[in-house]
Structure 1
Amino acid sequence: MSSPPSDPSKDAARWVLPSAIPFEHLKGHDLEECVYWLMDSLGAKDLEWRIGGIGAGTSDGGRDLEAWFFSPSPDGEMEGQRWWIECKGRSGTVEADTVKAACNNALAQDDLAYLVVVTNTGFSNPTRDWVKQWQKSHPHPRVKLWDKSSLERMLAQHPNAVFRLFSQALSTAGHLEVAREGFWNRFDYTSPRTLQTFWDAREDLAIGPLERIALVVSEFAHGRIGDRPWGVACEPQAMFQTLGLATANLPYLFGRALRGGIDQEPVIRGIAYLVLATLRVISAKDVAEMIEVCSADCKRVICGGGDAYAFDNEPIEAYWRRLDPQGRQAGPAKDDRQLWIEKNDAPCNVGFAVGPGNGCPLFASEPSETDLAELLAIVERVSDFRSAEAKAKATAGAAPGQP
């Protein structure tokens, strides 16, 4: 089914629909705002919008935007480069005198590394030739001319900037890239409406492990996973890779949640779901080895206690509670004890050998007393049975003529 993209540049071409960006109207404040968010996506620091608002504004001191870019030097120190950006929205090509004035004005800045003149249209060949000649006698600052084609290319590679201003110009693949970037960089959750859009187009989208984790956690942030079971809508190897990446990134995810004051429950529920989904296609032994290697220092992946396998106020077919390391949320004190009554003379629907003195292994097992692989094998067997049962019910309930 879906797999991580092998060539990001080819996917970038599919993220943005340039024809849907109103370049002819990008003038003044609108062009500056577009370039501001593009520079932000490019990694600019200390980004300053000089005009300070809509309209003519005050004098901008020779630039509309100012930014710093930092890169490591050979000795490991971070060195900064100061950039000036001048935005020139036009109906036709930018006047040569405008570019010349910008270049000459920048000469007074000794620490300026780059001057960028940006337009929504283009520059004439004589203007480009003049800049090349000027650059020979003035090596600093370096001058860049960004025309409409340049903007199209860079915006296509940074759909998050397009999303802020021209969401209609993003393809479904572009929205997926925004969802991935938003989750891993800012812990943003994808909206249910957008999740449904992705689900409807899942056969045509390149959904890799990073995207799949973001989608699964977003589902649990909004409710349940049942409507869009991402964990079973991919190839076995893709599911295995997703769980491996998720468990390896648990410290990062929990750390970001704690620092941002974000509820960790969607992450916990999402990882638990990924474990179950992986058990559908990979042996319990292999899953156990992965968890032990990837999260040996994380006690949240496997937990015991009375609530670990309890059923909440949801029907079993809607949500099977697996792991709940948070315990009960703070609230009125109540009796947390559970009464477990088992009818010894009734057979087990799943097929476990039960009877007097040999109770249900799912509820009787404690992680502290059971080998991890053995415990996961039990969960795997129940998952297999419940999945087949759910599929049978769905098939039986389908309208005549439907699969």
Structure 2
Amino acid sequence: MQPLQQNLALGITIISMPKDLFLPTELPWAELKGRDLEELLYWLFDSMGAKDLEWRIGGAGSGAADAGRDLEMSFYVSSPDGDLVRQRWWVEAKGRAGTVEPADVKHAVVNVASRHDIDVLVVATNSLFSNPTRDWVREWQSNNPRPRVKLWERTELESHCSKNPIAVVRLFTKALSSQGKLEVAAKKLWDYAAFTDVPTLAALWADRSSLEIDSRGLVALAASEIANGSVEERSWAVFVDEDIVLDALGDGLINFLYLLFRAHEAGVRADPLVRALSYLLLVATYRCGESVVSDLLERVWESVAEREYPAEIRRVVVQPILESLSSELRDVCTSDCARISTKPLVLSDREVRTYLQRLSIGSDHDAKTPERVLMFESFDEPCRIGLALDKQCHCPFGEQQDGDRDVRPTLELVRLVAMSRHPKRE
């Protein structure tokens, strides 16, 4: 199952990630031999989507028998008529201090040539292949089209690691650039429903001016911040451009069920995902206005090619997010209101005090049945945010919500609370 892509026709932008996701000089290439090189290759092929991946360690020590390959796996490629064709790959690791000579490669090639079920042989090294080695492989390949022999030396490994930084982060976190760490954060959330730790988030925030943050990166950052406690200290959605916030909100909405599926599959809590999207909804409404956001919530479902979202599916996605945001703002807006006396529903006292800091740059809740709390409304006091209330027209946060929330009125209230209680915009 893969996350869905939005259509550019609706103004959704996609930022291509730069290639410098890790720092090649930080990888200990000279020492990357034996088991270490094999482990890097294992995680690299895992990131590239290999199936039936097997690391043939064969036992302890460098002399363990591996039957002619260190790794074996399968890839499934599409044929012209649309069928998936299985390709079997063997991989031989050659960790060397100097260049890899022909004799080192000949043994691997001759060994696999006797097999008729292997399609590709990869010989990978942390150093370089000599020119005679390349010449020998080229000549052999001209007379033996199968299996296809690929020579991966350090430059190829650097390129593949840059495109698949998850392989690097498992072994050499220090080798990742800030952009690489951001890419890993996004991949962890979207592929594995995993959140990024606080030290990494803090390091990324310190280097935020150099980052290229796209919509999925923003969703991952917001969800990770909330999973680790709060988003007030590092409000990523206020730092990035408005169009990225809108893109992230749209991406999160159309992939909400996908993300919930990933979270359930991984056995992690889904609450940070809901609260991250409610945070993006808050910031988007505050920065862009309720008309723009309401229009986005209406049109985003049409942005996915060959996919329909019935009204019931849209409701299942949107209503928990609206409910989460409305409950949070209810706690904030009634906390110091002379007209309303009540207690918080979802936020702690500390969260109430710091909540609106998320509109400036700069605790896990277990799932529970919503409490019913007593609320007193003083008809003699005005509304702190300027709503025209009287004995017949009551505070909207005190009204019992039996059905679904209407999007536009809810967003109008969201923006009014945000603008009134946090009037200074960055």
TM more than 0.5: yes
Check the 8 A contact 2:186/2:216 in 1, yes or no. yes
**1:384-399 alignment to 2 at 5 Å?**
384-388=419-423
Check the 8 A contact 2:215/2:251 in 1, yes or no. yes
Equivalent-residue separation in structure 1 for 2:421 and 2:152 (angstroms): 58
| Unaligned ranges ≥5, structure 1 | 321-325, 393-403
**TM-score (structure 2 length as normaliser):** 0.82
Q: Which residue of 1 is the match for residue 129 of structure 2?
A: 123
Q: Which residue of 2 is the match for residue 43 of structure 1?
A: 49
Check the 8 A contact 1:51/1:57 in 2, yes or no. no
Equivalent-residue separation in structure 2 for 1:50 and 1:62 (angstroms): 10
- The ranges of structure 1 where at least 4 consecutive aligned residues each deviate by more than 6 angstroms after the TM superposition are none
Change (3 A) 1:53 1:211: farther
Equivalent-residue separation in structure 2 for 1:145 and 1:81 (angstroms): 18
**1:46-65 alignment to 2 at 5 Å?**
46-65=52-71
What is the Cα deviation at residue 4 of structure 1?
7.1
What is the Cα deviation at residue 382 of structure 1?
0.5
Q: Which residue of 2 is the match for residue 347 of structure 1?
A: 382
Is it true that 1:329 corresponds to 2:368 in the alignment? yes
Is it true that 1:319 corresponds to 2:339 in the alignment? no
Which letter maps to 1:301? I
Equivalent position to 2:284, from 266, 278, 288: 278
**TM-score (structure 1 length as normaliser):** 0.86
Q: After the TM superposition, which of the residue ranges 86-95 and 174-183 deviates more from structure 2?
A: 86-95
Check the 8 A contact 1:303/1:367 in 2, yes or no. no
Q: After the TM superposition, which of the residue ranges 206-215 and 29-38 deviates more from structure 2?
A: 29-38
Equivalent-residue separation in structure 1 for 2:195 and 2:366 (angstroms): 23
What is the Cα deviation at residue 380 of structure 1?
0.9
Check the 8 A contact 2:88/2:120 in 1, yes or no. yes
What is the Cα deviation at residue 349 of structure 1?
2.1
Equivalent position to 2:100, from 94, 111, 115: 94
Q: Which residue of 2 is the match for residue 396 of structure 1?
A: none
What is the Cα deviation at residue 232 of structure 1?
1.5
Q: After the TM superposition, which of the residue ranges 265-274 and 294-303 deviates more from structure 2?
A: 294-303
Q: After the TM superposition, which of the residue ranges 165-174 and 282-291 deviates more from structure 2?
A: 282-291
Which letter maps to 2:353? E
What is the Cα deviation at residue 54 of structure 1?
4.6
**1:5-20 alignment to 2 at 5 Å?**
6-8=15-17, 11-12=18-19, 14-20=20-26
SS state at 1:388 partner: coil
Check the 8 A contact 1:118/1:147 in 2, yes or no. yes
**1:65-76 alignment to 2 at 5 Å?**
65-76=71-82
Equivalent position to 1:165, from 157, 171, 196: 171
What is the Cα deviation at residue 68 of structure 1?
0.8
What is the Cα deviation at residue 364 of structure 1?
3.2
Equivalent position to 1:241, from 233, 243, 247: 247
Check the 8 A contact 2:322/2:405 in 1, yes or no. no
Equivalent position to 1:105, from 91, 103, 111: 111
| Unaligned ranges ≥5, structure 2 | 1-11, 302-313, 332-343, 357-364
What is the Cα deviation at residue 52 of structure 1?
3.8
Equivalent-residue separation in structure 1 for 2:53 and 2:183 (angstroms): 24
Percentage of matched positions with identical amino acids: 38
* Length, aligned pairs only: 377
Q: Which residue of 2 is the match for residue 302 of structure 1?
A: 322
Is it true that 1:359 corresponds to 2:379 in the alignment? no
Equivalent-residue separation in structure 2 for 1:132 and 1:226 (angstroms): 58
Equivalent-residue separation in structure 1 for 2:387 and 2:266 (angstroms): 44
Q: Deviations over 1:87-116 (max 9, x none)?
A: 111111112112112111111110111111
What is the Cα deviation at residue 29 of structure 1?
1.0
What is the Cα deviation at residue 265 of structure 1?
1.0
Equivalent position to 1:135, from 132, 137, 141: 141
Is it true that 1:376 corresponds to 2:404 in the alignment? no
Query: Root-mean-square deviation (CA), in Å?
Result: 2.6
Q: After the TM superposition, which of the residue ranges 187-196 and 287-296 deviates more from structure 2?
A: 287-296
